[in-house]
Structure 1
């Protein structure tokens, strides 16, 4: 009888241990923080922690003199809040030497907030496979690191060929490819295979749109259902770690908070200001708990929904040269639908009600896809204009208006607004 009673407890303890090992991070662009105050770090970290995020991957560029002021703030505030951070060296936008990297690691590895695995500081990158040969020297100069780079440009097989240099891998691929409306898990499966048991950090993102001619960047990756699709895929793939891309990259519209004016890169204001993404975080406590416990039927902390959509039709005027997906050639207008997208968290399946404009009587809509307690809804706009009102289980919220007028820029803004019900 005693053995029988202990077996379920053993299973519970094993599940708790597995959940404790899994972590969710958000990619934070330190290169946007010149002059940033401690209060802003406190706000970002407290909001991230409240959403269930375990830490920030701090993207740092070699050229930024203010790293010396901002990184101590980030590490110190994180330590005070029981939050984890680790360095992610941006090796696509800047040139790092082994000595520079080693110096940064040695300077910050002693902080209580430094994320460690096997007692070693975790270190990541954004790209940099052409400099792969520097890392043995970095390990030696720092007393050891746990290295989880993003070398996605090599592809999964190429990353696997570098197995002797790495302790795991981060896959930046979190968006559909050019000319693809949704993404599959084929690349994730390939990474898991080539890593042969080493930790896989899976990239997850809510959105992507950038229009920054000074950087030769002008594309939109299909994002109508991406936030739901990708979290559903996390529950299927069961990676050791998840990295949300991003917390604050406003210029690429992948952020999950309200725009911070001081962090918006020049030229992005026209498609970022007024386009709040805070509501994307509403579903995080549920999805993160489901991921960590391996149980999609955990009850959500609160019932409601996140709603996101573009505020103008995709073909209302010029696309501004925006193409469909990185490296694509088709118009971005072909890669999105004029729809309102919704993820509802409810303890039992339910229809939702949506109204667009004051003359709309509203329509009851059923889910197109469900995983656990999360259901996805997609409602065609069908030429309607005006404010969007969504009702879930008797609770209603009204979001920004949809217009048939061309934005003041003279071209479509492919970024989305969001709101929470």
Structure 2
């Protein structure tokens, strides 16, 4: 909890499966510690890991622990979430009546509009489990857009998920897949700044079985690998602490609209084996419903990924096996202050010790020496978990902040799916990046728009989804004939991503009934010594 506070995290979600004998003692210990540290906790009842929670048991736990000074409250009400539980939605009418709780569940197995209607609209907000891409491309905000649209229509808040990675190989739970991670930790925080949700829940603090932990490694949590019949322990020796290093800046930026760089730092992450050097143990890249599963090696890249928090521009150099090469940033913060991000492809024929170094005026600013890249396998298998390293510069700097607050910034770079890519790349660059059709990949000072030609623009095929894009782009002289027309066609509707108010997440298909359901975190059930924590930060920034 002390480490979480240092990272500017506000609360832990205590994810609990029903019927685990250690729940009571673990919860009691957690609240005692949180009260002593001035930290916050809230319950997330897991209805998937070990079946549904009885209504009376939920009420009892809330009545016992909600009065604690450590229990997180929203609008003076004890905050409660779930992992699934749609079939027990009606229980929450009585639970809310008897506890006065503020209820924000994850009911991602149904569409957002359907979740809002369950039990007569019992929810006070919704949490989405869609923290990972469902294909081999980078993370988008289409699912977030669907939730924001549906919730916005009824004036209810959204809890946005963020996660750095996802790999699991547990035949005992019928889970063996990897989600496309790579640049995810950087991308998601850009998206958080753009969307500005009410809360962000980071998945997770200590879920070793799904490889998305940002907390320290703990031998007491490794029982999950035995229980899940994993072929090996893919968390041991693979620290993720570095992913917390820049959180104070990222969280302050989200919560306050601005943040200060008080020390410069570098975070580096990568898989330690080339994707073709070892067997993958039948691991697949996991997809959304009705998509064909793909081999894992089509989802993951042989790259080093790095993010640097800097007070001003600097260059980056990568060394692998003693071979040094200068590389370029993929993203640089507008104005020079903030998080820089890039990656470096490596050749499986040239491996060895890795070092990433940030230089300014030819002198080293900060450097991370990482684990060696190797073709050595673990029982003939590749570890698809990430190794994460980090370092802080020994040189002191004067505190510096971005020149503009988030409310003064706009989208300056974006993308879209399918036919929307070309239009979104143009319109997002000039601040028009509509949710549901485009997604923003960088923010900064508003750019001067091209000279307006004032041309009329309409979707060539009548698709309403293009209407705003064609209108904006054609007005400023960019009017691709294959997509936009000067005359209005008959109206149709299609969507490039999950439909508005839809569902979408790293999922599996329930072969018994064909329904798409989120993958349960069984670690809470079998983590005999530890509760599984996700972490929460809440928004205090309303703009200017």
TM-score of the aligned structures, taking structure 2 as reference length: 0.66
Report the aligned-residue RMSD. 1.5
Question: Does residue 402 of the first structure (1) align with residue 370 of the second (2)?
Answer: no
List per-residue Cα deviations over 1:276-317 (Å, max 9, x = no partner): 10001111011001101223xx33232111100000011113
Query: Which of 97, 101, 120 is residue 58 of structure 2 equivalent to?
Result: 101
Partner Cα separation in structure 1 for residue 109 and residue 27 of structure 2 = 27
Whether the 8 Å CA contact 1:232–1:371 is kept in 2: the answer is: no
The correspondence for 2:246, drawn from 279, 283, 308, is 283
1:301 pairs, out of 236, 255, 262, with: 262
Judged with a 3 Å threshold, the aligned counterparts in structure 2 of structure 1 residues 261 and 132 are, in CA distance, closer, same or farther, namely: same
Partner of 1:127: 84
Does the 8 A contact of 1:350 with 1:366 survive in 2? no
Match of 2:146 among 190, 212, 219: 190
State the distance in 2 between where 1:386 and 1:157 align.
51
Give the equivalent residue in structure 2 for 1:266.
225
Question: Distance between the aligned counterparts of 1:131 and 1:326, measured in 2?
Answer: 27
In structure 2, the residue matched to 1:167 is 124
SS at match of 1:314: coil
Partner Cα distance (2:160, 2:88) in 1: 22
- In the other structure, the counterpart of 1:234 is 192
Q: Does the C-alpha gap of structure 1 residues 101 and 371 become closer, same or farther in structure 2, counting only changes over 3 Å?
A: farther
- Deviations 1:147-181 (Å, cap 9, x if unpaired)? 0100111132322334721111111110001x332
Cα distance in 2 for residues equivalent to 1:248 and 1:307: 20
Picking from 353, 356, 373, the partner of 1:390 is 356
Select which of 63, 68, 78 maps to 1:111. 68
What is the distance in 2 between the residues matched to 1:299 and 1:401? 33
Take 2:316 and 2:353, find their aligned partners in 1: how far apart are those partners? 17
Higher-helix-fraction structure:
1
SS in 1 for 2:164: coil
Q: 2:203 — aligned with what?
A: 245
- Partner SS for 1:271: coil
**SS in structure 1 opposite 2:18?**
coil
Q: Which runs of 5+ in 2 are unaligned?
A: 392-544
Report the counterpart of residue 82 of structure 1 in structure 2: 38
Instruction: Indicate the SS of the match to 2:233.
Output: helix
TM-score, normalization: structure 1?
A: 0.85
1:152 partner SS: coil
Q: Distance in 2 between matches of 1:218 and 1:184?
A: 23
1 CA distance for matches of 2:76 and 2:250?
28
Q: Which residue of 2 aligns with 1:354?
A: 318
8 Å contact from structure 2 (residues 116, 123) kept in 1: no
Alignment check: 8 A CA contact 1:149 1:170 kept: yes
Other structure's SS at 2:282 match = coil
- Matched pairs, number: 370
**Could you report, residue by residue, the CA deviation over 1:107-142 in whole angstroms, capped at 9, with x for unpaired residues?**
101100101112211010011111111100111232
**Larger gyration radius, structure 1 or structure 2:** 2
Aligned counterparts, 1:35-50, within 5 A: 45-50=1-6
SS in structure 1 of the partner of residue 48 of structure 2: coil
CA distance in 2: counterparts of 1:355 and 1:209, whole angstroms: 27
